[in-house]
């Protein structure tokens, strides 16, 4: 084994130390949120909960378990995330594949129109008026209306342009049609970019709050983020009528919702993150 010189040892020590510190900084809010959600009222309100929980109690999770609106909001979020991501990926991959072909008529103009939306935005009011016709209190409308992000289409287009043309030409010689080339060559060879863009869309859908809060006025159709924001805005009234000596703070309920909301992300992200850097780097080579 090749011996490391002194400068390499110092560099690795500093690098691993910084990475460790950054990891702890990223992990701390999650640990604190869970500790605060299961800590007693007095330790939390007196500032004794810093990292580990004090006077552990899971009563707020029992309250959350019997809260029907929480589960309705959770199911709504899953619905918007799963079907919204599928819809976004279908139209984004199809659009990116078409834009990656030099034989497409008016290709440059179409690309310019898409990139133009990244530079200039219509603004909140015109966007709201545009969405009113199809997305107000409409679950399907919310999915369809927010189906495309220009950056993701550009990312996929650049990746598709990097697929060797010789493979496509060989498939054409073998009698493959356009749909077969797209589904059997381009998509299987673009797993890294597809996983990356899927993560972008899924994260955007999962964390979607602003437009959902403005367009979905029925609480039975609102996602988890809107439900949690409403609880934060009214957290002081959450326990009105309950005994004063309840063993948990009102904030503990908010932290419990927060912990439950990030569980799917923590479970899924490790399986996708290995494609993340590769997909972004390879998809961002060409302009």
**DSSP string of the chain?**
-PPPPHHHHHHHHHHHHHHHHHHHHHHHHHHHHHHHHHS-HHHHHTT--SSS-SS---HHHHHHHT-HHHHHHHHHHHHHHHHHHHHHHHHHHHHHHHHT-TTSTTHHHHHHHHHHHHH----HHHHHHHHHHHHTT-HHHHHHHT---HHHHHHHHHHHHTS-HHHHHHHHHTT--HHHHIIIIITGGGHHHHHHHHHHHHHHHHT--HHHHHH--STTT--HHHHHHHHHHTGGGTTTTS-TT-SS-HHHHHHHHHHHHHHHHHHHHHHHHHHHHHHHHHHTS--
- Both 240 and 159 in one domain: the answer is yes
**For residue range 241-254, what is the model confidence (pLDDT) as tens digits?**
555 556 667 778 88
Question: Is pLDDT at 281 greater than 60 in this prediction?
Answer: no
Q: Write out pLDDT tens, residues 176-211.
A: 898 999 999 999 888 888 988 998 899 899 988 888
Residue 280 in this model has a pLDDT that exceeds 60? no
pLDDT tens column, 132-177: 777 778 888 889 888 888 889 998 998 898 888 888 889 888 888 9
Q: Tell me what pLDDT residue 266 has.
A: 82
* Residue 58 domain-assigned (yes or no): no
On whether both 72 and 122 belong to a single domain, the answer is yes
Note the pLDDT of residue 284: 46
* Number of structural domains found in the chain: 2
Mean pLDDT within 28-39: 90
Same domain membership, residue 81 and residue 35: no
Between residues 283 and 120, the one the model is more confident about? 120
Residue 79: band (very low, low, confident or very high) from pLDDT cuts 50, 70, 90 = very high
pLDDT at 272: 72
252 lies in a domain?
yes
In a domain, 29, yes or no: yes
Q: What percent of the chain has pLDDT over 90?
A: 24
Same domain flag for 156 and 35: no
Compare 108 and 278 and report the one with higher pLDDT: 108
Q: What is the CATH number of the domain that holds 112?
A: 1.10.3720.10
Residues 152 and 277 in one domain: yes
Confidence grade of residue 80 (pLDDT, cut at 50, 70, 90): very high
Instruction: Say if 183 falls within a structural domain.
Output: yes
Do residues 122 and 231 share a domain? yes
User: Are 195 and 89 members of one domain?
Assistant: yes
Asked whether residue 98 falls in the same domain as residue 12, the answer is no
- Give the pLDDT confidence score for residue 214 in this predicted structure: 86
123 plus 251 within the same structural domain: yes
Q: What does pLDDT average to over the chain?
A: 84
Whether 124 and 200 share a structural domain:
yes
Residue 78, domain member (yes or no):
yes
Question: Between these two residues, 5 and 48, which has the higher pLDDT value?
Answer: 48
The answer to whether residue 87 sits within a structural domain is yes
Is residue 236 predicted with pLDDT exceeding 80?
Answer: no
Model confidence at 130: pLDDT above 90:
no
Summarize the confidence of residues 243-267 as an average pLDDT: 78
Residues 13 and 128 in one domain: no
Least confident window among 4-13, 85-94, 189-198, 276-285? 276-285
pLDDT of residue 219: 85
- Provide mean pLDDT across the span 250-278: 79
182 in a structural domain: yes
Residue 1 banded pLDDT, cuts 50, 70, 90: very low
In a domain? residue 30: yes
> What is the structure's pLDDT at 267?
83
State the average pLDDT over residues 43-56: 86
Q: Is the pLDDT of residue 73 over 70?
A: yes
Domain residue limits at 21: 6-45
25 and 93 share one domain: no
């Amino acid at each position: 084994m090749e011996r490391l010189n002194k400068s390499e040892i110092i560099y690795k020590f500093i690098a691993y130390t910084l990475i460790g510190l950054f990891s702890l900084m990223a992990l701390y809010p999650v640990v604190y949120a869970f500790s605060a959600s299961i800590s007693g009222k007095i330790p939390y309100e007196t500032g004794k909960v810093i990292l580990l929980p004090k006077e552990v109690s899971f009563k707020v999770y029992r309250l959350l378990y019997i809260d029907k609106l929480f589960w309705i909001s959770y199911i709504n979020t899953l619905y918007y995330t799963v079907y919204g991501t599928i819809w976004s990926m279908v139209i984004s991959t199809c659009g990116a594949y078409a834009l990656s072909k030099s034989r497409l008529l008016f290709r440059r103009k179409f690309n310019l129109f898409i990139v133009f939306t990244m530079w200039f935005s219509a603004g909140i009011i015109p966007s709201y008026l545009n969405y009113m016709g199809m997305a107000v209190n409409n679950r399907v409308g919310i999915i369809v209306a927010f189906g495309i992000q220009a950056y993701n289409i550009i990312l996929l287009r650049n990746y598709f342009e990097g697929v060797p043309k010789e493979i496509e030409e060989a498939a054409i010689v073998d009698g493959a049609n356009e749909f077969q080339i797209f589904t059997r060559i381009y998509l299987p060879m673009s797993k890294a970019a597809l996983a990356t863009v899927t993560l972008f869309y899924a994260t955007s859908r999962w964390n979607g709050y602003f437009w959902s809060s403005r367009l979905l006025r029925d609480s039975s159709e609102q996602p988890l983020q809107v439900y949690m924001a409403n609880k934060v805005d009214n957290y002081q009234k959450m326990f009105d009528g309950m005994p004063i000596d309840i063993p948990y703070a009102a904030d503990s309920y908010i932290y419990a919702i927060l912990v439950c909301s990030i569980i799917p992300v923590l479970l899924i992200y490790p399986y996708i993150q290995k494609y993340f850097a590769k997909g972004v780097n390879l998809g961002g080579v060409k302009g």
